[in-house]
Amino acid sequence: MTDPFIPNSPAGRSPGGGHTSLFATALAQLERGADLIDLPNDLRSILSQPKNEIIVNFPVKMNDGSYRVFRGYRIQHSNLLGPYKGGVRFHPMVDLDEVKALASWMTWKSALCEIPFGGAKGGISFDPSGLEADELERVVRRFTHALGSNIGPDHDIPAPDLGSNAQSMVWMMDTYANSTGAAERQNVKRVVTGKTLETGGSPGRDKATGQGVVFCLQHWADEVGFDLSGASASIQGFGNVGGATGRILQVHGTKVVAVADHGGAITDEDGIDAFDLTDWVHQNGTVAGFPDAMWIDPDDFWSIQSDILVPAALENQITVDNVAQIQARVVVEAANGPTTLEAETALTQRGIDVLPDILVNAGGVVVSYFEWLQNRSAEQWDLDDVDHRLRETLWRACDAVVNLREELEVESRRDAAYALALRRLQVVYEQRGIFP
Ligand code: GLU
């Protein structure tokens, strides 16, 4: 019998419909970074697997009176450097393989940015847009209840990811708080980050991932002598991350010349207004139909000439099937895992720089850390302060990656970023030892 929870067709995961294991990609990346610094085998084995894999199947009453059973995941990869930390993804393609890869990437992001968190990821395999708002609320609350004490403000701290948002985080926080003793209730707000401002969120958290993408791109531009103002960018995905990236790039004078998402693709060589497009997407759910640009076949998106290509949607999007079409000077991985291993090799061979996800999209978790700190001290920082600290944190990480890349004489920025994260984890493992 087929498992009713696992989508039969992995279509979309790789263009041929075949299943490209994201966790296999994550492991191969880990091996390359580990080789560079001769990481001992025991540490490789420890870091190759998550510490805990939690799967919950939980029933929710739907509005037609029926009960539907949902499958949720929370994968806790590492808590060596601090509490487990990472988003929850609501998407029909969520499965164990994907969440394991995403959880490990969170560990590297925190280590790279020197924030005192470990790595985790969760998700529910369903399409949130197919539910009524009250059904969605019950799913999120019941998921939180099912996770129970597997999450906690100093233990494991969820955040938004694809398909979830600030409202989902408020439901999670409220459910968790109401399952906590009355005297402790005010102390547990930081069990999730990415909340709305009114309920304890941080200024700047909403745009943090996109803001971080642009800070990392500025750092790269400075390093290689590239001018962002007057440059052109193509963006795949125009949700929270792609949208913020497009708007901030536009403010810096970069023209957004093409955008694609699940509904279609558009282009305008004179520039698409990222603010107008944001309003359009809020109203229509997709870039398709946007009146102030030319609609194109989504397959042609990859061959649009632009300096900067920003994949900001799902994983495994840049593959051997489309990599030859890409004309960019730099690929900026705003999404997690958008480039397959083979496609990355092809890009590097053609002199196209790849700025790796574990550095480029770490702005989200960095500002999550700021939110967690603000909740812990019952403060609210202002936006300038948050942006300034984010830039300092990311530029310090970028500097360290650039330096290690030179020291190790390695071509790939991803390999250098892995080597740096692994070195930091190695030092702590060696000092703490393994107990018992
Ligand atoms: N989901 C985001 C990521 O993949 C943010 C995680 C967080 O803030 O904990 O990095």
Q: 243-252: per-residue pLDDT in tens? A: 999 999 999 9
Q: In this predicted structure, what is the pLDDT of residue 362?
A: 98
Q: In this predicted structure, what is the pLDDT of residue 147?
A: 98
Best residue among 104, 107, 161, 393 to mutate for probing ligand 1's pocket (most ligand atoms within 8 Å of CB) is 161
Residue 19, pLDDT above cutoff 80: no
Segment 344-367 mean pLDDT: 98
50-198 shares its CATH topology with 202-436: yes
Residue 350, pLDDT above cutoff 60: yes
Segment 219-229 mean pLDDT: 98
Catalytic position from the list 121, 189, 195, 207: 121
List the 255-261 sheet strands across, edge first: 294-296, 264-267, 255-261, 232-236, 308-311, 330-332, 353-355
Active site includes 100? no
The closest of 239, 240, 60 to 140, measured between CA atoms, is 60
Task: Give the whole-number percent of the chain exceeding pLDDT 70.
Answer: 96
Q: In this predicted structure, what is the pLDDT of residue 9?
A: 31
Residue 15, pLDDT above cutoff 90: no
Q: What is the pTM for the complete model shown?
A: 0.95
CB-based contact 188:372 (threshold 8 Å): no
In this structure, the chain runs to a length of 436
Mean pLDDT, rounded, of the chain: 95
Q: Report domain extents, the chain.
A: 50-198, 202-436
Q: 188-218: per-residue pLDDT in tens? A: 999 999 999 999 999 999 999 999 999 999 9
Q: How close is the Cα of 119 to the center of ligand 1, in Å? A: 10
User: Does the CB atom of residue 393 touch ligand 1 within 6 A?
Assistant: no
Q: 28-60: per-residue pLDDT in tens? A: 999 999 999 999 999 999 999 999 999 999 999
What's the CATH code, domain 50-198? 3.40.50.10860
Residue 12, pLDDT above cutoff 70: no
Residue 62, pLDDT above cutoff 80: yes
- Domain 202-436 -> CATH class: alpha beta
User: Does the CB atom of residue 368 touch ligand 1 within 6 A?
Assistant: yes
Q: In this predicted structure, what is the pLDDT of residue 20?
A: 76
Half-sphere exposure (Cβ direction) of 74: Cα atoms closer than 13 Å: 21
